[in-house]
Amino acid sequence: MTTGENPREILVVAHVRREDTVIAARRVIAALLDAGARPVLPAEDGELRAAIGQVNGSAASIAALGVEVPVDRIELAIVLGGDGTILRAAELVRGGTAPILGINMGHVGFLAEIEADVIDDAMRRVIDRDYEVEERMTLAVEVIDADGTAIYDTWALNEATVEKAARERMMEVVMEIDGRPLSSFGCDGVVVSTPTGSTAYNFSAGGPVIWPTVEAIAVVPLSAHALFARPLVVGPEATVAIEVLARTDGTGILWCDGRRSHELPPGARVVARRSPEPVRLARLHPALFTDRLVRKFQLPVAGWRGPDTGGTA
């Protein structure tokens, strides 16, 4: 860094409730300070700031996102935690261009790039800007009331889920693709998922796993009382709408990534389409998605012989 040049500003997001994560966050911040970079923490993370304390004898050089450093100045977000913490980081950097580097401190950590035991090597790569950036499609989600007025809009990296609000009742919906009705049924809800979210709620609901290189949207009814309510895969430019029928007894609720929600009165309409703003993931080790599936889900592959190379026996 030359004299007078603004320092590189790198966001650090960590799950404060775990001591090992706080210790790892201190290592990350120390490496950034040693390299002349400026660590940034979410402004509302006072508990994390207090838990980290002073690093290299200084707490003043750790900035606050949105207070001292706007999101569009963030070069990279380093996330220590599981997939939920990564989803929170994606929310924090929305509106900027910073990629997210996930360091798994949780269980599956499907979105994470590396495990905690290689933090030091990862920080050397970060300082050298030695990583690739992979873009993941997201969904733009809008709620329209029965009068046709847009009353809420948000986005999702994993999925937008229309769910019943009352456990004891089904909700009645009609599903629409590209402006045409497809089927109506009673159900517990409907999941509209990106390829990134295909290994999350979509996966648990019996939907298909979609490779990240396949741009598509999955639509999966939850416990549908219908003859035709199978999981669907539609094109990335399709518009998916779920209408809560006016005769539904009670309200529904929209959840996006399990983080943002909005109540759905009878007659409400949820519209999901591709967002022009992707989420960017930093990748240190290019790897086949097949290998990630096997590793994260501990899939049995014993007995695999490999492809036929054409050699003689």
Q: Which residues are catalytic?
A: 83
Q: How many angstroms separate the CA atoms of 34 and 73, rounded?
A: 20
Q: How many angstroms separate the CA atoms of 183 and 169, rounded?
A: 20
Structure tokens at 16: 């404060």
Contact in structure between 139 and 160 (CB atoms under 8 Å): yes
Contact in structure between 209 and 198 (CB atoms under 8 Å): yes
In eight-state DSSP terms, residue 123 is H
Contact in structure between 100 and 93 (CB atoms under 8 Å): yes
In eight-state DSSP terms, residue 6 is P
Q: Exposed e or buried b for every residue in 69-104, given b needs 16+ CB within 10 A?
A: bebebbbbbbbbbbbebbbbbbbbbeebebbbbbbb
Contact in structure between 240 and 176 (CB atoms under 8 Å): yes
Maximum CA extent, the chain: 72
